[in-house]
């Protein structure tokens, strides 16, 4: 329960709820909207992949890291590749 209480206090709880609802953050949406192929492909990704990507972006501790993750997401989505997915 302590972990849940901490998450509610620091805003993580609400952020994770938005991830589960597949709410795309404004900064990612802006970046995707500048690349039609990336936007189309990202929107076609399955829900599980979107959740992984959104959580990965959300969990960036520094703004620079978040920006890099968004950039990587857009670049890979433009090639129809899912960011933060490890291939075998």
Q: What is the 3-state secondary structure (H, E, C) of the chain?
A: CHHHHHHHHHCHHHHHHHHHCCCCCHHHHHHHHCCHHHHHHHHHCCHHHHHHHHHHHHCCCCHHHHHHHHHHHHHHHHCCCCCCCCCC
User: In this structure, what token pair is assigned to residue 76?
Assistant: 């890979």
Percent of the chain predicted with pLDDT > 70: 78
This prediction has a pTM of 0.78
Report pLDDT for 2.
76
Q: What pLDDT digit, counting tens, does each position of 5-44 carry?
A: 765 676 665 666 666 667 899 999 999 999 999 999 999 9
In the predicted model, is pLDDT for residue 50 greater than 90? yes
More confident residue, 80 or 4: 80
């Amino acid at each position: 329960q302590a972990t849940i209480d901490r998450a509610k206090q620091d805003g993580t709880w609400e952020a994770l709820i938005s991830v589960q609802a597949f709410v795309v953050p404004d900064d990612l949406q802006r970046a995707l909207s500048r690349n039609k192929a990336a936007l189309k492909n990202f929107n076609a990704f399955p829900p599980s992949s979107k959740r992984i990507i959104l959580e990965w972006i959300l969990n960036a501790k520094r703004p620079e890291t978040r920006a890099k993750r968004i950039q990587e997401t857009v670049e890979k989505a433009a090639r129809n590749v899912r960011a933060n997915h490890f291939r075998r």
